[in-house]
Amino acid sequence: MPSDLTILESRDARKDLPCAVTPRKADLGFDLRFHSGYDVSIPINSLEGDQQLLTVIFRAYPTQDKVHPAYFVQHFRVPAIPENSKGDASLSGAVDLGEGNYHVDWLMRDRAERICSSSWDVEASLAPRDKPIALFIRPNQIAETAAEPFINEPFVRPPTPRGDDLDIKLLVNFAPQVTNSAALQRIDTDPLVSILKAIERDPHIGRLSLVAFNMEEERVLYRQDAAEQIDYPALGKALEKMKLGTVRLQQLGQKHSETDFLETLIEKEIGNPSHPDAVVFAGPKAMLDADVPQDDLRRIGNVECPVFYMNYNLNPQAVPWRDSISHAIRLFKGTEYTISRPRDLWLSTTEMMSRILRAKRQHAVASVVSGRSR
């Protein structure tokens, strides 16, 4: 409405509709995007009545580019509130930002055209030691925060020198950080999807194979073979079928069934004769009752490609011990990375891809030398 724009332009703080607005500072997320926004509290007694509707409108723009603002609109339907109710209602909104300095103008109005308005500045800046991190959003870019992580985002992978394109197999344990949790939460899925996207967007990637599994259910949830990009919507749909906290009857009669599942998975995916350039495990710690016996894994024989484990662990001090996946990859001289912060994700992905590329080049040289010696 024209009156909304007038209020946003004025930058006057209005309290016709009583509310308290708290801006959120820009924090870097595991998706390698800055997240900002607001939290607002409103006295419930100011919303008394039926069919109340609150409309939030805010705009954000880089401080040096006011002519290209991004506008956002939210609608909150308020349930019927009895008279003389006490307490506050809390609402919030979010926005994704690239590196830069921004200005935000914000307002909220009800059906009676009562207004609450505010404005503030926010800075999205990497720490000096993190400046090399390649974010998934451009500087001075403003974007809507995704409602869920399983979406295909367009990106352009730069061309690589001939022979440097990598074929990677990803084995991801989609499991909650909190043991015995009955469902996957965003805090569980977002970092795991970010690990996939960080690998997928590396310029050296040629093909990716994905095996998504869950240790508790002892089954493979989703499989995608040799593709240039991961089908995230299909992966998300497959994960919806998980039934955490449910124990199947056959599991009760089988001792160490989770260990047996992990052993079978490793034998099938790592012991496959058509080796990729690397095998990468990812997921939270898998603390099983028993580790896979090393003698059983030796049946796989020599694994020519490097093996890695990207362990997503929000609190590594709480469980500092090796888990069952870490124990298993030791036989293959695997490398483990602990990912607790967004910076860890970027550093570990960068180092891992460098190691894979170096190993592929060394293998190619060794093959040429071996061929000449014959």
For residue 243, the model assigns a pLDDT of 84
Question: In sequence order, what DSSP letters do the residues of 84-121 get, joined into one string?
Answer: T--SEEEEEEEEEE-SEEEEEEEEEE-TT--EEEEEEE
Confidence (pTM): 0.86
Contact 170, 227 (CB under 8 A): no
Residue 186: CATH number of its domain: 3.40.50
Residue 121: CATH number of its domain: 2.60.40.10
Instruction: Return the exposure string of 263-298: e unless at least 16 CB atoms fall within 10 Å of the residue's CB, then b.
Output: bebbeebbeeeeebbbbbbbbbbbebeebbeeeebe
Q: Is residue 153 part of a domain?
A: no
Residues 96 and 189 in one domain: no
Q: Which residue has the tokens 């992990």?
A: 262
Q: Is residue 191 part of a domain?
A: yes
Residues 119 and 177 in one domain: no
Residues 123 and 210 in one domain: no
Residues 55 and 195 in one domain: no
Distance CA 270, CA 156 (A): 30
Contact 245, 279 (CB under 8 A): no
Cα torsion angle, 130, 131, 137, 140, sign: positive
Closest CA to 282 of 202, 341, 210: 210
Contact 218, 243 (CB under 8 A): no
Residues 40 and 171 in one domain: no
In the structure encoding, which two tokens stand for residue 277, read together? 């350039």
Q: Is 275 left (phi over 0), alpha (psi -120 to 50) or beta?
A: beta
* Main-chain phi, psi angles of 174, to 5 degrees: -80, 100
Which residue type does 167 have?
D
In the structure encoding, which two tokens stand for residue 48, read together? 């008394």
Q: Is residue 367 part of a domain?
A: no
Residues 191 and 300 in one domain: yes
Query: Which of the listed residues 75, 109, 143 is the one where a domain comes to its end?
Result: 143
CA 359 to chain centre: 28
Give bridge partners of residue 58 from the DSSP assignment.
72, 106
pLDDT tens, residue by residue, 175-228? 998 877 778 888 899 999 999 999 999 999 999 999 999 998 999 999 999 899
Each residue's pLDDT, cut to its tens digit, for the chain (374 residues) gives: 778 888 888 888 888 999 999 999 999 999 999 999 999 999 988 887 667 899 999 999 999 999 999 999 999 998 888 777 889 999 999 999 999 999 999 999 998 899 999 999 999 999 999 999 989 999 999 999 988 899 998 887 777 767 678 999 999 999 998 877 778 888 899 999 999 999 999 999 999 999 999 998 999 999 999 899 999 999 999 999 888 866 655 555 567 789 999 999 999 988 776 679 999 999 999 988 899 999 998 888 888 889 999 999 988 888 888 999 999 999 999 999 999 999 999 999 999 999 999 999 888 777 666 666 65
Contact 166, 356 (CB under 8 A): yes
* Main-chain phi, psi angles of 195, to 5 degrees: -60, -45
Q: Is residue 48 part of a domain?
A: yes
Contact 60, 103 (CB under 8 A): yes
Q: How many domains does the chain have?
A: 2
Contact 149, 155 (CB under 8 A): no
Distance CA 23, CA 213 (A): 39
Q: Is 262 helix (H, G, I), strand (E, B) or coil?
A: helix
The one-character DSSP state at 229 is S
Q: Is residue 372 part of a domain?
A: no
Q: Is residue 47 part of a domain?
A: yes
**360 to each of 123, 159, 275, 306, how far by Cα in Å?**
41, 18, 12, 9
In the structure encoding, which two tokens stand for residue 210, read together? 């994905």
Residues 136 and 194 in one domain: no
Distance CA 235, CA 193 (A): 10
Residues 139 and 172 in one domain: no
Closest CA to 189 of 15, 17, 30: 30
Residues 130 and 185 in one domain: no
Residues 284 and 333 in one domain: yes
Q: Is residue 370 part of a domain?
A: no
Residues 138 and 171 in one domain: no
**Environment class of residue 27 by beta-carbon count within 10 Å: exposed (0-12), middle (13-18) or buried (19+)?**
exposed
Q: Is residue 149 part of a domain?
A: no
Q: Which residue has the tokens 């100011």?
A: 46
**227 to each of 219, 282, 354, how far by Cα in Å?**
22, 19, 21
Residues 173 and 133 in one domain: no
Can you give the residue range of the structural domain that contains 102?
Answer: 2-143
pLDDT tens, residue by residue, 103-131? 999 999 998 899 999 999 999 999 999 99
Distance CA 40, CA 364 (A): 59
